[in-house]
Amino acid sequence: MAKVLFIIAPRNFRDEELAVPRSILQEAGHEAEIASTTTATVRGMLGLEVNPDLTVEEALGELEGYSAVIVVGGSGAPELAKHLEVLKLLKKAVDQGKIIGAICLGPQILAQAGILEGRRATVWCSALDNRPVKILEAKGATYVAQDVVQDGDITTANGPAAAEQFANAILNKLRGES
């Protein structure tokens, strides 16, 4: 079975955007590890506490062992784009042909890593805040207003309500299905 790396923000990741996909993938027999910019206890927006298995920098050195890399959203996710090792890991994962996923505000991290250029993607936005869409478009992505969007080996989702559908799309990719 595959080994999947979840990347979460050091604070305010979206709990169910980690918990639901992780659970679905583990129930299907896949191994899931969590990386962040720290291995200290991190806390989600709804109170979930997690001790990351490794730092993103450590994961960068072990990237060949993963089949998929997933960026979890939440209000803290934009912080990830400030860490060069996160952007470098995502670029390297694409270069190695990994399955890539991002949910909620996570797709804007993919955009800032330069891996959404010329691709279709979705991201969380609201009538009051469409900045995440503008970030995607400024980095060359085509925004699609759907819950889950797949473009090649990159799957994006627009928020917690899409977590199960997102997880199943990633699961299908791991099984070699489109």
Q: What would the mean pLDDT of 58-78 be, rounded to a whole number? A: 97
Answer yes or no: is pLDDT of 177 > 90.
no
Q: What would the mean pLDDT of 47-51 be, rounded to a whole number? A: 97
CATH code where residue 27 lies: 3.40.50.880
The band of 39, judged by pLDDT with boundaries at 50, 70 and 90, is very high
Report pLDDT for 127. Answer: 80
Task: Give which of 154, 86, 148 is closest to 123, Cα–Cα.
Answer: 148
Answer yes or no: is pLDDT of 68 > 80.
yes
Report pLDDT for 77. Answer: 97
Report pLDDT for 147. Answer: 98
Q: What would the mean pLDDT of 137-163 be, rounded to a whole number? A: 97
Give the integer Cα–Cα distance in Å for 94 and 114.
Answer: 10
3 touches 66 (CB < 8 A):
yes
Kindly give the pairing relationship between strand 31-36 and strand 42-43.
Answer: unpaired
Which residue range forms the structural domain that includes residue 99?
A: 3-174
Mean pLDDT, rounded, of the chain: 97
Report pLDDT for 156. Answer: 98
Domain count, the chain: 1
**Does this model's pTM top 0.85?**
yes
Give ∠ CA 159-81-166 in degrees, rounded to 5: 25
**Single-letter amino acid, residue 147:** D
Task: Give which of 52, 146, 152 is closest to 110, Cα–Cα.
Answer: 152
Q: Which three-class secondary structure string do you get for 35-88? A: EECCCCCEECCCCCEECCCEEHHHHHHCHHHCCEEEECCCCCHHHHHHCHHHHH
Q: What would the mean pLDDT of 130-134 be, rounded to a whole number? A: 93
